[in-house]
Structure 1
Amino acid sequence: MPHSSHAPQPIIYTPNNPSYSVVLNSSIHNQRFSSPWTPKPLVIVTPFNASHIQATVYCSEKHGIQIRTRSGGHDYEGLSYVSNVAFAVIDLRNLNLISVDVKRKSAWVQAGATLGELYYRIAEKTANLGFPAGDCHSVGISGQIGGGGYGYLTRKYGLAADNILDAKLINAKGRILNRKTMGEDLFWAIRGGGPASFGIILAWKLRLVPIPPTVAVFDVRRTMEDNATKKFVHQWQHRADKVDEDLTIYITFRTVSSVDKEGNKKIVLEVAPRGTYHGSVDKLLQLMQKEFPELGLQRHECIEKEWVESFLYFNSFRNGESLDYLLNRTSNYNLMSFKAKSDFVKEPIPDDLFKGMLRRLYKEEVGRASIDLFPYGGKMNEILESAIPFPYRFGNLYMIHYFVQWNEEMNITASKKHVKWLKRLYKCMTPYVSKNPRATYFNFRDLDIGMHNNKSCTTSTHGNIAKARIWGMKYFNNNFNRLVSVKTVVDPTNFFTNEQSIPPLRTHKKI
């Protein structure tokens, strides 16, 4: 919750302030953007109320300074705290109040709250309600909603952005708007279309969803050397989107070091299915035996948890740790540099080609690269592509997340090597994933797929519209056109802009 110290807390941090670097780095989860040569903000503002944000908007507009807004800091390309132009960061860490209304099954959440804080505050009030967002506790709730928000409840209730009832936003004129005063077009745009293109979110009103008293979870390890595991992966491709919507199974593939029976070290390809079933272990095992008997899931590999406890489990807190860990705004993983890409799959990838994709993991350092699969189906098939900006619904079997991380950020050659590996993998998958457009997930932001020119504070021209369409269609498909229309109306001077923000349709004077 907001800081409770009696001493007045600073609101503005400039590079001359001894705490500037601490505040800047505290929310950076990708060390690729914490090197000495990474562009830094002219100022960091940590507001305690809306008026602080309004003043920052007025000042930034007056002096031609762009704004970057940060809550959790998990954005893949660092766009909430990095830019090549003169910019200020509004860090919302102090705006993290959460008000849960059990009777109305809703909650108001300030934009600076994390998923862990949200889950903790819901659990304080009830064990029978939850919210369909992600499983990483340190992710900012506002950023995840802004791009869609996928999690273990999505197959049953849709994305986080599908479950928003209202919002409070500060626009380019410094006005505070809610759903009624902003209008349905803008309310549509900010739920999955990237609110940073349209304003600064102050708070979201969430629709909370029913959950059972306990959920059954598992996180197991197998290897692709096992024929049964290969059959499981094949079956998962064909069935994971069609099974009971109470069951969601993610799969991660990575290479690991192993020792054979003779004591010889070797590298094997690990398969790590992890899942949540909204029911008992008994019912989970029955369902798994019916749908995925090849996995051979055993009772001792499953555990029943309260829904909120499952997030401790999936964040590797498995030794009876307190729920207070969910309030920690930092990740419990070793922070490294990383790069990621994503794809959507409409037809199962043939087994031999799938095997070829996985073989490429051997070309990276052991354990430093992974391929994740996230199943679709269920509620996602029922929501129209145009309901919110996130369009990828019916007809998508699963999403692929390609990921590589490394430590040698100071070694530019090494960094380029890892990124080059990822780009080659992504290129080789072109024939087997979605086409026209080749879809990608906005919350897995990827600057490789094009950006409009942002080297000055000039607004977008028709040429920039064409450039933006390259990535805009990949993220939003035909919804991109409506996003441009909304942007043109609500922010025609393009005050809220970044390297992949929605551009307005018409050309205007400089900010």
Structure 2
Amino acid sequence: MRISDNIFPFFLLAFIIISGASSAFSNNDFLECLTLQFQKSNSESDSIYTPKNASYSSILQSSIRNLRPASNSTQRPIVIITPEHESQIQAAIYCSKKHGIQLKVRSGGHDFEGLSFVSETPFVLVDMRNLRSISIDTDKKTAWVQTGAALGELYYTIANKSRTLAFPAGVCPTVGIGGQFSGGGYGMMSRKHGLAADNIIDAKLIDANGRILDRESMGEDLFWAIRGGGGTSFGIVVAFKLKLVVVPEIVTVFNVTRTLEQNATHLVHRWQYIADKVEDDLMLRLFLTSFNSSITGQRTVGANFRSLYLGRVHDLLPKMREIFPELRVVKEDCIEMSWIESELHFNNLPGESLDILLDESVFSSAYTKGKSDYVRQPISKHGLKRIWEFLIEEGEGNAELQFSPYGGRIGEISESEIPFPHRSGNIFMIEYSVFWSAEENTESERHINWIRRLHSFMARYVSKSPRAAYVNYRDLDNGRNNIYRSTSYKQASVWGFRYFKNNFRRLVQVKTKVDPTNFFRNEQSIPPVSPW
């Protein structure tokens, strides 16, 4: 059933309430409401922070990984709430609705556009940092994890329970569970076991009416939507139940870098023909950046082939000689280790204690702009050489392209199984990133223009109609909802079909059913339709 057959000609209802324009609203009214609701639920008020609190700034800044959005924003949250109990989230929802103020939810702070912690209108921030419990059932191979936990905590907890259980999600340990899993969750084992969202079997969600729902009580439509439909459009997910996967006790990794002088152009071109077709146990990921060659003294491009094989090195080497002999991987390039040790390896922390996965201070923040694309036909050598020119144009180490291969289990699942639609037919996904320091932030537009020019150039080589993008690499250049007036379905479709393709229609239907007043909203949240 197509949404256009049943709902149009209608317009999307934004219900954006301009809090600052309402004489009925004041910060004190909201705080009084929140304090009263906390008292009713016997909750302590030390989970409430206003700009007058000494800890307010440190709480706000502590988990922001991309400094760019906050540096451009004129709005800071009028209140930060760090709930320790579900009743405190219910109180925040109740008071936000009562006083007409926007509510935002933050898990790990990795949102590329900062939509979880900045806004163009006054807002309240619910920071999930204290809701991070994890319980593992090794017999049933399942786990419950609260959405304030980070990937590193989940991996650490699983590894302490079992050497042969794992979970297929991202690599960066500080990424929040809530954000990544609700948008898909791609990682080094995705070709073997699918995305994080593919392996969610239950959830606990608080809806716009403050009800606490599990899979059975929320219904299959809403459960479908929160597994890949993006965060915070439908409610606040408090916890996910995960199906864990079985991995070998020993896996093999290798990092092999080749420069332009070492035939990198040919290797990257060849990689495109095999990366999505190798056996599912092998992930051949590719990272591209430019730097000054220690041999020639000139700028060059390095192609880093970063790989995980779910098996031993003596099995991997014959496979590499067969499928990719040009790369010339040898035994000395390979390291055998446990799956959890590979997480340290891919974060450039080899030999460190596993406890470092729990230390978020190890991982720094930066000013950055990101974009994404999907490639369905190999990029020509001429196209690759133009990419090299773009990379060399930026400062050394300031820009990176990640080529992440698809195929395997990802492509075997139907595009409509969950909202994440990027399945069969994709060779690989591109993540574009450009970084700069605080000292360079006055020149931020130069870096942003660079990545936009590169993205524009790449249009001829990537997916079309729509030009697809990954919602977890959120990009407001793809389009946005209106803040102060309603948004038409046509306008929302500009970004909606890029992220979700035809699944966008069903997401709008679910949103209209579960949150018709658009309480949970941001610049790229799924909007409801209004039958007027």
Counting matched residue pairs gives 489
1:356 aligns with 2:386: yes
Partner of 1:439 in structure 2?
468
Residues 213-240 of structure 1: CA deviation (Å, up to 9, x unaligned): 011011222102222x333212210010
Q: Distance in 2 between matches of 1:470 and 1:205?
A: 32
Instruction: Tell me if structure 1 keeps the 8 A contact 2:73–2:119.
Output: no
Give the secondary-structure state (helix, strand or coil) at the position aligned to 2:179. helix
Instruction: Tell me if structure 2 keeps the 8 A contact 1:408–1:415.
Output: no
Instruction: Tell me if structure 1 keeps the 8 A contact 2:291–2:300.
Output: yes
Give the TM-score normalised by the residue count of structure 2. 0.90
Give the secondary-structure state (helix, strand or coil) at the position aligned to 2:130. coil
Give the secondary-structure state (helix, strand or coil) at the position aligned to 2:466. coil
* Structure 2 gap segments, 5+ residues each: 1-43
Q: Shift of residue 265 of structure 1?
A: 2.3
Q: In the alignment, residue 281 of structure 2 is paired with which amino acid?
A: D
Q: Distance in 2 between matches of 1:140 and 1:411?
A: 26
Q: Distance in 1 between matches of 2:97 and 2:451?
A: 39
Q: Shift of residue 408 of structure 1?
A: 4.0
Residues 433-472 of structure 1: CA deviation (Å, up to 9, x unaligned): 00000000000000011101114xx6xx4x4322111000
Q: Distance in 2 between matches of 1:358 and 1:192?
A: 33
Higher-RCO chain (CA-CA 8 Å, sequence separation at least 6): 2
Partner of 2:167 in structure 1?
131
Instruction: Tell me if structure 2 keeps the 8 A contact 1:69–1:90.
Output: yes
Q: Shift of residue 24 of structure 1?
A: 0.3
Q: Say which structure is richer in helix.
A: 2
Runs of 4+ in 1 over 3 A off after TM superposition: 408-412
Q: In the alignment, residue 221 of structure 1 is paired with which amino acid?
A: T
Q: Give the alignment partner of residue 192 of structure 1, picking from 228, 231, 238.
A: 228
Q: Distance in 1 between matches of 2:213 and 2:197?
A: 18
Q: Give the alignment partner of residue 213 of structure 1, picking from 231, 249, 274.
A: 249
Q: Give the alignment partner of residue 428 of structure 2, picking from 383, 398, 417.
A: 398
1:247 aligns with 2:247: no
Give the secondary-structure state (helix, strand or coil) at the position aligned to 1:195. coil
Q: Distance in 1 between matches of 2:489 and 2:314?
A: 54
Q: Give the alignment partner of residue 417 of structure 1, picking from 415, 423, 446.
A: 446
1:265 aligns with 2:297: yes
Q: Shift of residue 27 of structure 1?
A: 0.5
Give the secondary-structure state (helix, strand or coil) at the position aligned to 1:201. strand
Partner of 2:353 in structure 1?
322
* Structure 1 gap segments, 5+ residues each: 1-7
Partner of 1:160 in structure 2?
196
Q: Shift of residue 39 of structure 1?
A: 2.0
Q: In the alignment, residue 123 of structure 1 is paired with which amino acid?
A: A
Q: In the alignment, residue 181 of structure 1 is paired with which amino acid?
A: S
Percent identity, please.
Answer: 53
Q: Shift of residue 38 of structure 1?
A: 4.3
Partner of 1:234 in structure 2?
269
Instruction: Tell me if structure 2 keeps the 8 A contact 1:69–1:196.
Output: yes
Instruction: Tell me if structure 1 keeps the 8 A contact 2:235–2:520.
Output: yes
Residues 281-301 of structure 1: CA deviation (Å, up to 9, x unaligned): 121212111111111112222
Q: Distance in 2 between matches of 1:446 and 1:453?
A: 15
Give the secondary-structure state (helix, strand or coil) at the position aligned to 1:259. coil
Matches within 5 A, 1:290-305: 290-305=322-337
Give the secondary-structure state (helix, strand or coil) at the position aligned to 2:89. helix
Partner of 2:24 in structure 1?
none
Q: In the alignment, residue 530 of structure 2 is paired with which amino acid?
A: R
Q: Distance in 1 between matches of 2:378 and 2:231?
A: 34
Q: Shift of residue 333 of structure 1?
A: 4.2
Give the secondary-structure state (helix, strand or coil) at the position aligned to 1:81. coil
Q: Distance in 2 between matches of 1:236 and 1:128?
A: 30
Q: CA RMSD in A?
A: 1.5
Q: Distance in 2 between matches of 1:9 and 1:288?
A: 58
Partner of 1:4 in structure 2?
none
Judging changes above 3 Å, is the alpha-carbon distance between structure 1 residues 297 and 482 closer, same or farther for their aligned structure 2 residues?
same
Partner of 1:5 in structure 2?
none
Instruction: Tell me if structure 2 keeps the 8 A contact 1:172–1:491.
Output: yes
Residues 20-71 of structure 1: CA deviation (Å, up to 9, x unaligned): 0000000000111343854211111000010010000001111111111111
